[in-house]
Amino acid sequence: MEVEVASSAVSASREISANQRPVTNRSPAKTRRGDPYLDIAAYDPEADLMVLNLGPQHPSTHGVFRLKLYLDGELIVKAVPFCGYLHRGVEKLCEKLTYVQLVPIFDKNDYVSPMMNEQSLVMAFESLLGVEVPRRARYLRTLLAELQRIASHLLWFGAFAMDLGGALGGGSTLFMYCFRERELILDVFEELTGCRFHYNTHMIGGNRHDVPAGWAAKVHSAIDIIEHRLIEYENYLTTNRIYLDRTCGVGVVDADLAMELGITGPILRAAGIDHDLRRDAPYHAYDELEVRVTTDIAGDCEARTRVRLAEIRESVRLVRLMIDGIPEGPLGSRKPIKTNLAEKSERGHAYAAVESPRGELGIYVIGGGANRGASPYRLKIRSPSLHALSCLPYVLPGHVVSDAVAILGSVDPIMGEVDR
């Protein structure tokens, strides 16, 4: 796909965007906390409460997720979330499969950013087994992570616009546009790994697939197109009066609530906390890069959109910095392991965390020693989406039902990762 990117056109549309954006209320975030343990029987007996089940089959729940809402008129009094509809028992499976067999399984957890899942898993295994990763592989992992972040946030942006309803550019228009741009990244990944989605490109001690000839030029053209069109889409949505009315001041998660719940990632940064594992606890090759972290103070749905869009632009900048300078050297610190049981078994605990598009994605692994063979004794996935969803019982009360859809969309839950 060829698109002419004229730099004058880009700067012109930037100016329009700055002039057209209406001034919004930018006061620091403060959540009106609802009570998740509210006793409905003791609630005002005069009130005519209605119970509304949002989900498990509902387009706005981004998967299978059930939200039981107690409504007084149209106001939400209490919200009880139910998850687990997609529970596949991954953590039990980890006790059966070997270290080598587990990497492709983890692609399916967060199916919107599979690269981060693989990376957190192999990082945990590498620290448990004491395996070094060569610089070229660390660099390539950083690059893949940033490309994946662009793809993940693009999909979220389109889905969020669709959640907010048909008034915003004819329903699924923006969704389809964002999907089309995400395809560019998937094409690039396909050329590198052979798969569009479940890559299996990381292995303990390095990466499996080396960069093909001419790949850098394709990445350049993909991110040029994305950066150019993103300005258009941003103007399309974020200057829309209806969008602003539905997101400003809606679903405020303040910093205290976010930290207490363990929410990290864009939601925490939108609440004004400058916290990003890429900069604050560097892994891969992030210690060689300067990651500019975006924060916002309002903590509402609009602030979360701003933070995520800024993160796409930041990732585009980082990819541009890295793509032409991938260092030479070996891609793995040892030969690829062909048999399942060749990995030695280690005792001990290990933890590795990466900044996924949704926050801190951590893998805590307990090695079993000789009597467990080559599989972990216990493995726990610290899922950022699960922590993010747990804000709903605190945030939703006091909002109307249509706001619940906007808030759920802005949290960006991936149910495959929540339920595991």
Partner 1 sequence: MSVAGLAMAVDVIELLTQRFSANSEPDGPPLVAPEHHLELARTLRDEFGYRIFGFVIASHHPATTKDGEKVDRVRVVYGLRTVGSHTRLASWQLEVDVGTSVPSLVGLFAGADWQEREQYDLVGIRFEGHPDLRRLMLPEDWKGHPLRKDYAIDTEVAPWR
| 394 makes contact with partner 1 (CB under 8 A) | yes
Q: Give, as one character, the DSSP assignment of residue 9.
A: H
Nearer to partner 1, 292 or 349 (CB): 349
Binding mask 320-359 for partner 1 (x = CB under 8 A): ---------------------------xxxxxx-------
Residues 60 and 409: beta-carbon distance below 8 Å: yes
Residues 94-133 that bind partner 1 (CB under 8 A): 95-96, 123-124, 127-128, 130
Q: What are 325-329's contacts with CB under 8 Å, separation 24+?
A: 326/136, 326/139, 326/140, 326/143, 326/211, 326/216, 327/135, 327/136, 327/139, 328/136, 329/134, 329/135, 329/136
Say which amino acid occupies 121. L
Bridge partners (DSSP) listed for residue 354: 361
CB of 393 to partner 1, least distance (A): 9
Per-residue b or e along 361-392, where b marks 16 or more CB atoms closer than 10 Å to that residue's CB:
bbbbbbbbeeebebbbbebebbbbbbbbbbbb
Q: Please report, as a single letter, which amino acid is at residue 316.
A: V
Please report which helix (H) or strand (E) contains residue 60, including its range. none
CA distances from 417 to 111, 389, 420 (A): 8, 11, 5
Beta carbon nearer to partner 1, 112 or 415 = 415
Beta strand residue intervals within 148-205, DSSP E: 202-203
Secondary structure (3-state) at 392: helix
| Closest distance of CB 266 from partner 1, Å | 15
Q: For partner 1, which is the closer residue by CB, 185 or 258?
A: 258
Using rule CB under 8 A, residue 37 touches partner 1: yes
Q: Decide: is 272 part of the binding site for partner 1 (CB under 8 A).
A: no
Q: Report the nearest approach of partner 1 to the CB of residue 259 (Å).
A: 5
Nearest to 223 by CA among 307, 312, 116: 312
Q: How far is the CB of 159 from partner 1 (least distance, A)?
A: 23
SS3 191: helix
Of the candidate residues 275, 284, 308, 358, the single one contacting partner 1 (CB under 8 A): 275
Cβ proximity to partner 1: between 62 and 246 the closer is 62
CB of 275 to partner 1, least distance (A): 5
Least separation in angstroms between residue 378's CB and partner 1 is 4
* Residue 82 DSSP class: E
Nearest to 350 by CA among 90, 132, 129: 129
Q: Can you tell me which of 118, 163, 296, 419 binds partner 1, judged by CB under 8 A?
A: 419
- In 293-372, which ranges are continuous DSSP H helix? 301-323
Nearer to partner 1, 124 or 147 (CB): 124
Q: Does residue number 371 form part of the binding site for partner 1 (CB under 8 A)?
A: no
SS3 414: coil
Rank residues 155 and 204 by Cβ distance to partner 1 and give the closer one: 204
Q: Closer to partner 1 at the Cβ: 158 or 384?
A: 384
Residue range at the interface with partner 1 (CB under 8 A); choices 67-75, 237-245, 387-395, 406-414: 387-395
Q: Which residues, in sequence order, are CB contacts of 364 under 8 Å at separation 6+?
A: 124, 349, 350, 351, 379, 380, 382
Tell me which DSSP letter residue 111 carries: T
By the rule CB under 8 A, 262 interacts with partner 1: yes
Residues from 282 through 311 that contact partner 1 (CB under 8 A): none
Q: Which of 10, 38, 261, 341 lies at the binding interface for partner 1 (CB under 8 A)?
A: 261
Shortest distance, CB of residue 394 to partner 1, whole angstroms?
7
Residue 259 within binding range of partner 1, rule CB under 8 A: yes
Among positions 42-101, residues that touch partner 1 (CB under 8 A) are 83-84, 87, 89, 91-93, 95-96
Q: What are phi and psi of 400, to 5 degrees?
A: -90, 170
Contacts of 260 (CB under 8 A, 6+ apart): none
**Could you list the residues that contact partner 1 (CB under 8 A)?**
36-37, 83-84, 87, 89, 91-93, 95-96, 123-124, 127-128, 130, 257, 259-264, 268, 273-275, 277, 279-281, 347-352, 360, 362, 364, 366-367, 377-378, 380, 382, 386-387, 390, 394, 419-420
